[in-house]
């Protein structure tokens, strides 16, 4: 992805989030200059990958297959000094913009439609060979309702609705066509996308960046350079 594209995605995201009366923490708006004098007091942000995370999953087409996330809080799988057992993210999902099939080895998460359009979520169990189990019913929990659906069912979350996704459940999601961009919340166990994702297909989780202009704000993957 080009840095100029990432910068524009951030501008649009910040405006969309503001329209929904949600406020990001101050470090969301730090570029290289603001980060230059941030010492050990801010290690939690760097070590736990808080902040912006934008990916096209290696597709080269962010609007078709991509996702914007902002990690607001997180613990750490490997560093015991960080004791939080939970994480929280904000996601922006555009109409028809797919996050490809994946499950998490450890993380259980609640996906919450915070506003905007409708979020569509397709679910499968995973088979012993880690492919899709296309036969077994899937047990789902949506806002306290627990029931079974056939493999491959598409569940639609309207604003205010949510689904709980246990570890090991394959899921893909996108914004429903004609309904607009979706503001999504995620509340989960500790998150580490470097080691806890099992994608059905090989994808590029963290994009290579073509530095055609200066970063507007730093992403979590940029922290290793500061």
Q: pLDDT tens for residues 76-134?
A: 999 999 999 999 999 999 999 999 999 999 999 999 999 999 999 999 999 999 999 99
Neighbours of 100 (CB within 10 A): 17
What is the pTM for the complete model shown?
0.96
Domain that holds residue 73: 3-225
pLDDT, tens digit (0-9, with 9 covering 90-100), for 35-73: 999 999 999 999 999 999 999 999 999 999 999 999 999
Residues 6+ apart with CB under 8 A from 86: 73, 75, 187, 188, 189, 190
Dihedral sign computed on CA atoms, order 140, 145, 148, 154: negative
User: What CATH number is associated with residue 218?
Assistant: 2.60.120.10
How many domains in the chain? 1
Tokens found for residue 216: 């507007």
User: What number is the average pLDDT over the span 154-166?
Assistant: 98
Q: Which own/partner pairs from 25-29 qualify as long-range (CB within 8 Å, at least 24 positions apart)?
A: 25/72, 27/51, 28/52, 28/70, 28/217, 29/217
Report which DSSP code applies to 127: P
């Amino acid at each position: 992805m080009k840095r100029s594209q990432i910068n524009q995605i951030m501008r649009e995201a910040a405006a969309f989030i503001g329209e929904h009366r949600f406020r990001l923490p101050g470090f969301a708006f730090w570029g290289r200059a603001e980060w230059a004098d941030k010492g050990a007091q801010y290690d939690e942000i760097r070590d736990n990958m808080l902040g912006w995370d934008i990916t096209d999953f290696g597709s080269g087409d962010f609007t078709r297959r991509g996702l914007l996330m902002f990690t607001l809080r997180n613990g750490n799988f490997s560093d015991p000094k960080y004791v939080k057992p939970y994480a929280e993210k904000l996601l922006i999902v555009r109409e028809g913009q797919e996050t490809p099939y994946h499950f998490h080895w450890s993380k259980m998460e609640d996906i919450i439609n915070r506003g905007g359009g409708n979020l569509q979520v397709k679910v499968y169990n995973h088979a012993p060979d880690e492919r899709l189990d296309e036969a077994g019913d899937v047990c789902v929990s949506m806002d306290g309702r627990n029931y079974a659906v056939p493999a491959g069912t598409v569940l639609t979350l309207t604003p205010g609705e949510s689904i709980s996704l246990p570890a090991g459940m394959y899921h893909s999601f996108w914004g429903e066509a004609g309904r607009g961009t979706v503001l999504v919340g995620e509340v989960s166990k500790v998150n580490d996308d470097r080691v806890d994702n099992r994608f059905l297909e090989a994808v590029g989780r963290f994009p290579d960046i073509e530095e055609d202009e200066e970063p507007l704000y730093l992403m979590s993957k940029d922290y290793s350079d500061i």
